[in-house]
Amino acid sequence: MIKKAIAVIVGSALLSTFSVFAEPAKSDKQAKDVTEFRQAILTLVKSNVGVLGAMNKGAIPFDAQTMQTNAIRIEQLSLMLEDYFATDTTGFDVETAALDKIWENQADFKNKISALTAAASNLNKVAKAGDTSQFKPAIGQVFKSCKGCHDNYKED
């Protein structure tokens, strides 16, 4: 049992080490497909973040269950982003707002995705705990992490 756990940990460490380096798309089709997948994931992130923004602005009441659900979704989607942005589409004719800087600064970009993952995880914990005084700050952290990528890596 311990040997299996060690093997999983070592394997995960090796995978995370290699995932910092982007691999170029091998064809126009692959570049187009991965771009479409990224855009689909980001559309889902946006749909889940939008409800949280409405709560933070007071447009709709805070709802801990919705916060938990959306936080879990955002966390899972952020993990998918890391995978799909590992394919470098620089130099391909794809319609995207993603800047080439993503693949020039892959480690920083990955850190920003990790910040989104952590913020979503924290929001889930805050919502579970039901501490209403922490709802706004936790949602704010999710937005701050989104802004970190948008400011540096998304075309205006």
Residue 142 lies in a domain: yes
Residue 135 lies in a domain: yes
Q: What pLDDT shows up at residue 4?
A: 52
Cite the beta strand spans of 1-156 per DSSP E: 23-24, 87-88
60, 54 Cβ separation under 8 angstroms: yes
Residue 147 lies in a domain: yes
- Percent of the chain surpassing pLDDT 70: 87
pLDDT of 151 above 90: yes
Residue 11 lies in a domain: no
Count of structural domains, the chain: 1
Residue 119 lies in a domain: yes
pLDDT of 18 above 50: no
Binding positions for heme c are 146, 149-150
pLDDT of 23 above 50: yes
Residue 20 lies in a domain: no
Q: What pLDDT shows up at residue 77?
A: 98
Binding positions are 146, 149-150
Distance (Å) of CA 116 to CA 92, 130, 143: 27, 21, 8
Give the CATH number for residue 149. 1.20.120.10
Computed over every residue of the chain, the mean pLDDT equals 90
pLDDT of 3 above 80: no
Residue 10 lies in a domain: no
Q: What pLDDT shows up at residue 156?
A: 87
Q: pTM for the whole thing?
A: 0.84
How sure is the predictor about 17, in pLDDT bands with cuts at 50, 70 and 90?
very low
Helix, strand, or coil here: 20?
Answer: coil
127, 74 Cβ separation under 8 angstroms: no
Q: What pLDDT shows up at residue 12?
A: 46
Q: What pLDDT shows up at residue 13?
A: 45
Residue 130 lies in a domain: yes
- For residue 94, give the nearest of 30, 41, 40, 4 by alpha carbon: 30
Residue listed under structure tokens 């801990």: 64
Range of the domain at 118: 27-153
